[in-house]
Structure 1
């Protein structure tokens, strides 16, 4: 199947960005069309075939394969891959290894799930829930002072309100 110039431009942009909607807009499709049809365009047999052929042409030992990317993302999620961070100490600074924070892990999980078009909706919901919990934990961490009293007060205040609600 021969591609139209717009479809070819869409495919080339999609290879660069991985973003179907933005690729469709860049290729010349209207925003409305891109919003409604861009995901279907990337599933089009002709476009898919073109993308696969182009990916083979640009393959290089310096470019990660899909399998390598998935393995690395999985390593981030399960904590096998760590990053070196510099931490201030009373006597100077020291380097330490740490696993990815929740937001980074969730982002990696989302990236993994994108590669499986028939992914389970339950898993998607669980990832959304984890993301919300990570946002809450991050907000709580910002509230904590050096001695931790701000968080303790907030939690105690919350408990009192819950008790008052139960009494009502």
Structure 2
């Protein structure tokens, strides 16, 4: 299998970092006469199967290291629910008159929301008997309805 050249690898790395193919082509060290020719060459480079494969690999590595997975998200929510985290608030010190950053415990509303989020993902088992007899009360009000008197012959 043919390998990428040093410039091609650099192009791929810069493209992943910058997200701009034209700029990545220039930074990689390719000589270009104009912005238009750089854009055209960069576009052609992105269609190269080996280059595309290398970029896909770099993007996969980037996603693995920078994006939280489901376990990490649940762990964070659990830490909030258990009160293991604090919030930073800005308050005015009444004595000195200066603004200070103060650590405080997470509010109970945040803890309850965290618990609700966990329960969305891990619902409690609930037995519901759909065949159980159920009592229904129906209340009707006829105050606004006029009932005609029956006619007798």
* TM-score range relative to shorter protein: 0.3 to 0.5
Quick check: which has more Rg, 1 or 2?
2
- Taking structure 2 as the reference length, what is the TM-score of the superposition? 0.38
Bigger RCO of structures 1 and 2 (CA < 8 A, at least 6 apart):
2
- Taking structure 1 as the reference length, what is the TM-score of the superposition? 0.35
**Structure with the larger helix share:** 1
